[in-house]
Chains A and B, each alone.
Chain A
Amino acid sequence: MTSEAQEFEMRVEALTKRFGDLEAVKGISFEVPRGEIFGFLGPNGAGKSTTIKMLCTLLKPSGGRALVAGYDIVDEASQVRRNIGLVAEKIILYDRLTAEENLYFYGRMNHLPEAEIKARSAFWLDRMGMTQWKDKLAGTFSTGMKQRVNIARALLTSPRIMFLDEPTLGLDPQTTRAIRQFIKELAEQGVTVILTTHQMVEAEMLCDRISIMDHGSIVALDTEANLKNLISDGKGAVLDLALEGLTDGMRQDLGALRGVMGLAEPEAGRLRITTNRPGVLSEVMRLVEGAGGTISSVNTLEANLEDVFLHLTGNEMRVEFAQSAPSGHRRGAAGRTSRVR
């Protein structure tokens, strides 16, 4: 173990993964100190899960290297495995074993002594509010209940590093809230958390640092506040317009205005303009109306991570999300997402 490896719980250098011709992860590098909640935010197919799988020793990197808990993920894979917990995209539970039996089996697979397994599984099931269900088959649980047991399972080995790949995807709001709260507490207890999500809110709420991923690369890595400063220096805002009669000429003229950082059309009749100059709104309105368009409403919003993503990649993140996010996924002025499932 080098001294750097002790400072950082995780150290990744030029990590690459190719599937045939597709380069799913393109040489990413970063470091994660102990106790940090480190998030990967990006649309579907960005390479988040592939990165997690490499770090968990489930996929062999095509290039680069990584130290996880101080161990090389290729040469010291079994040491890595002793120090990590994984909540993967798919829930790791056997439907025909009870909650408790699932934990027992997983504890056995990790060579924990029987008494220790019993004590720890009782503790974590209680912590996850699943004690009264411990003797029920996992197959009878709702997705939210399964995920609670699944997290208890991953924590059974008291891992130094916890990997969570979209841990709240498809869960009810109540469980989502509970799990997010729980992740925060874990980090407070010194567990390093690596989290992936394609939900802005989740990244904003939980992560100490966010790495924005797109097409296999990390396009930005910083705290939420610093990321937002990237586009607005703390002065800017996002104008959300509802308008009619938008033309290509108008789009060009708007883009050329001083202080306009980017344009996006989340849906027909809506325009989001990222700005870093407060006075730009009146110019926008003059331009649109002068060219024959009609603006029916204007909202001035704080810039959010999606706008950062747009600024950095030129892509509207939400369009890609539309395939996986349920309808009703919409951000309000307060930057809160409500998901209906």
Chain B
Amino acid sequence: MRKIHAFFMDALHVGNKDLKDFYRDRARIVAFLIMPIFMMLLTGFIFPSQSSLKDLPVGVVNLDGGPVAQQMLVVFSELKSGKSKVMKLQNLADEDAAKELIQEQRISGALLFPEGLSDSLASKQQGQVVIITDQSNPQISSMLTGMLEQTLANMGTQMSAQAIDDMAGGQISQDTITALVTPIQVQTRGLIPGNPNYFQFVAPGVMAMVTVMAVMMGLAGSVAREKEVGTLDGLLVAPIARGSIVMGKTFAQTVRGLTQGAMVLVLAMVFFGVRVYGSWPLLIIMLILGIFSFVGMGILISAMASEQETAMTIMMTLNFPMFFLSGAFFPVQQMPGFMQAISKVVPLTYVVEGLRQVMVLGAGIGQVWRSVAVLLAFGAVTLAIAIPAFNRVVTR
């Protein structure tokens, strides 16, 4: 009992010393504060959202000249996303002019109304509208195309309804006409109210990444630094358990990692409208489990590397692919099969998945237990390897 007490007290002193050492380093504090802001803003602005559809320059080649094209142009020019208009239309002479401007990246796409469009429709024949896309920018392109297609489809539906009404001479009720024109009504319903944006998806990923990275890098870095400078010998020659050194360092780095994770979350909530739909305690538990699952790896790396720089290099090499494989930025389901398989053995995947379930879907412990179990197992196994390895390395 006294031994256990001493173990934790020693760990607390080591952790306290590490935190002091950390917050007195001005350069590191600045990096520490800037990193989460940077990560969140970067992912926020790099990835397009609905708000990217704003005043997009779109070319118009109107060879029709009839009322249909005119009417469509009015609708398009009035399309809005939020408070601002989606498109800025710009008249062009012909298709070649449109292609040229796309090549010059001066317009994001173009609409082509072929000759005789109004006439075809007036004579009850199918008409055609061409959308020319900028394939060099697939994200914007597909969002723009989606929006244009949707609008055109709506207009088409209205036209059909009008046509049926005309043919039936007012004999059929509006409800029936609607049922005829769109027999199937699709309703999409999520688990949470409203329409979550990309940030809601990416915020748990960035948070998991920033937290885990802070702890792993911090841990390996601080052990390696003490080795390099020579202060580790001072700890090793003291009559304390080696485990309490590791524990103390983990404790300090956890405080650091959670602080950074919290910063990401606050930024995401304040600036990007992200909300936490699930329980806060569960969210914190998931994050701590994530840290736990990586501590062993951090210790193992610091045991292997004799210099701080080596530790950092190993860390970067491991971290970079891990972030992409974990689904922090892109859904795992979008990846090819072999990558999905690899992502299943990357523990970060389960942190990201668990956090996302809790934050976005409001999942409870009953729904995330699988991630919890994987993280616990991974952490326990790596620690069981890392701690003896650490002990062996520090007294060769």
Which residues on A are within 8 Å of B, measured CB to CB? 56-60, 78, 81-82, 84, 86, 88-97, 101, 105-106, 108-111, 137, 153
Contact = CB atoms under 8 A, between A and B. Distances in A.
Given A57-B237, A88-B233, A109-B13, 6 more contacts: A60-B396, A82-B239, A90-B230, A101-B20, A108-B10, A108-B13
19 contacts: A57-B395, A58-B237, A58-B395, A78-B239, A81-B239, A84-B237, A88-B230, A94-B21, A94-B231, A95-B229, A97-B17, A106-B238, A108-B13, A109-B10, A109-B13, A109-B14, A109-B240, A111-B239, A153-B234
A173 to B, nearest CB: 24
B282 to A, nearest CB: 36
A92 B233 contact: yes
Interface string B224-264: 00000111011111111000000000000000000000000
B25 interface: yes
Nearest to A139: B24
A96 B395 contact: no
Nearest to A88: B233
B233 A58 contact: yes
B386 to A, nearest CB: 19
B238 A81 contact: yes
B6 interface: yes
A111 B238 CA distance: 9
A340 B198 CA distance: 66
Nearest to B392: A60
Interface residues of B, number: 22
A106 B233 CA distance: 12
B393 to A, nearest CB: 11
Contacts of B20: 96-97, 101
A90 B229 contact: yes
- The B contact surface, by secondary structure, is helix
Nearest to B234: A92
Given A78-B239, A94-B21, A96-B25, A86 B396 contact: no
B230 A89 contact: yes
B21 A96 contact: yes
A315 to B, nearest CB: 28
A86 B13 contact: no
A33 B161 CA distance: 109
A89 B233 CA distance: 10
A110 B238 CA distance: 6
A137 B10 CA distance: 23
Contacts of B233: 58, 86, 88, 90, 92
Nearest to A83: B239
Contacts of B10: 108-109
A59 B396 contact: yes
Contacts of B396: 59-60
A109 B235 contact: yes
A97 B229 CA distance: 14
A81 B240 CA distance: 9
B215 to A, nearest CB: 20
Contacts of B395: 57-60
Given A57-B395, A96-B24, A96-B25, A86 B6 contact: no
A59 B236 CA distance: 10
B21 A58 contact: no
Contacts of B230: 88-92
Interface in B1-53: 6, 10, 13-14, 17, 20-21, 24-25
Contacts of A111: 6, 239-240
A294 to B, nearest CB: 51
A56 B231 contact: no
Nearest to B394: A58
A92 B231 contact: yes
B17 A94 contact: yes
Contacts of A60: 395-396
Nearest to B17: A105
A90 B20 CA distance: 22
A109 B226 CA distance: 15
Nearest to B233: A88
Contacts of B234: 86, 88, 92, 106, 109, 153
Q: Of residues A92, A97, A111, which shows the largest number of chain B Cβ atoms within 10 Å of its Cβ?
A: A92
B101 to A, nearest CB: 59
Contacts of B238: 81, 106, 109-110
A89 B17 CA distance: 23
A58 B231 CA distance: 12
A57 B240 CA distance: 13
A92 B234 CA distance: 6
Nearest to A93: B231
Q: Of residues B13, B20, B231, B236, which shows the largest number of chain A Cβ atoms within 10 Å of its Cβ?
A: B231
A57 B242 CA distance: 13
